[in-house]
């Protein structure tokens, strides 16, 4: 059983990458439905204003820590994560692991990004992971009230792993809303992973990633879209951290 600790009012798993990869691959081999989400400070902030979203991420099968914000937040609550588990690094590691399981060939579907981007990602990933089957893709810019045809396609392709990249909170809400219709074993809410995999969007240079400043690089590339989420969002996150921690301390007293 993977340990879960409470970061304020969100229950997040405390696990290293190898333990998480092992858990997901075992679920796949046993065909046990599993939803994997990633918690960063933006996700946390959204959950404080959206009770439905908070319930969805708390009900996920595996909620992994993403970013230095939640790492510092954990220390405020007296625990620490084993390592950073952002989706952009975790998913290739998962594909590497599944690619080595020769007795079973897993089928993967990509859903999200702009028209043409998911197709480019599908082609690049297919050439990289020869023992995985990338069975289909669809862009995310469609009327999401009319998802039944896409779900039918996902099911018809006998998908094992579904990557959904709509951005937070839409991707997690879409998975929760349609999970009962989806036959795939594992879903992952993947943010910008499909964009990065397509080769059309570059990740931050390694120095930014080592210093845990990938968010700063992305904000510099897209300041209009990301400045408020990142700068204001970081302050808001720590406001929630200290406020909820203080409330918890008072309640114990």
Per-residue pLDDT of the chain (253 residues; tens, 9 = 90+): 688 999 999 999 999 999 999 999 999 999 999 999 999 999 999 999 999 999 999 999 999 999 999 999 999 999 999 999 999 999 999 999 999 998 899 999 999 999 999 999 999 999 999 999 999 999 999 999 889 999 999 999 999 999 999 999 999 999 999 999 999 999 999 999 999 999 887 666 677 667 666 666 666 666 667 666 676 788 899 999 988 888 777 666 5
- What pLDDT score does 245 carry? 85
Phi and psi angles of residue 187, each rounded to the nearest 5 degrees, phi first: -115, 145
- What pLDDT score does 208 carry? 66
Q: In which region does residue 10 sit, left (phi positive, over 0), alpha (psi from -120 to 50) or beta (all else)?
A: beta
- What pLDDT score does 246 carry? 83
- What pLDDT score does 28 carry? 96
Contacts of 126 (CB under 8 A, 6+ apart): 132, 134
Burial of residue 75, with CB atoms counted within 10 A of its CB: 0-12 exposed, 13-18 middle, 19 or more buried: exposed
- What pLDDT score does 224 carry? 65
Under 8 Å between Cβ of 61 and 24:
no
End-to-end Cα spacing for the chain: 31
Closest CA to 121 of 209, 112, 101: 112
Q: Is the dihedral of CA 169, 48, 74, 207 positive or negative?
A: positive
- What pLDDT score does 216 carry? 60
- What pLDDT score does 248 carry? 74
- What pLDDT score does 233 carry? 81
């Amino acid at each position: 059983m993977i340990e879960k600790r409470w970061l304020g009012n969100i229950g997040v798993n405390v696990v290293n990458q190898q333990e998480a990869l092992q858990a997901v691959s075992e679920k796949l081999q046993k065909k046990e439905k599993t939803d994997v989400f990633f918690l960063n400070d933006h996700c946390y902030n959204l959950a404080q204003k959206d009770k439905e979203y908070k319930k969805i991420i708390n009900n996920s099968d595996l909620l992994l820590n993403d970013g230095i914000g939640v790492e510092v937040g954990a220390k405020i609550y007296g625990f620490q994560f084993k390592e950073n588990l952002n989706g952009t690094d975790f998913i290739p590691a998962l594909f590497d692991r599944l690619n080595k399981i020769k007795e079973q060939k897993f089928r993967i579907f990509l859903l999200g990004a702009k028209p043409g981007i998911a197709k480019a990602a599908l082609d690049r990933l297919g050439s990289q992971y020869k023992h995985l089957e990338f069975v289909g893709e669809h862009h995310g810019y469609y009327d999401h009230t009319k998802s039944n045809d896409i779900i039918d396609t996902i099911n018809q392709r006998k998908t094992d792993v579904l990557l959904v990249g709509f951005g937070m909170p839409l991707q997690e809400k879409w998975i929760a809303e349609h999970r009962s219709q989806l036959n795939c074993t594992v879903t992952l809410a993947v943010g910008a992973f499909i964009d990065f995999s397509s080769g059309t969007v570059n990740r931050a240079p390694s120095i930014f990633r080592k210093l845990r400043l990938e968010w700063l690089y992305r904000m510099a590339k897209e300041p209009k879209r990301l400045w408020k989420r990142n700068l204001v969002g970081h302050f808001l996150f720590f406001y929630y951290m200290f406020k909820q921690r203080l409330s918890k301390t008072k309640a114990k007293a």
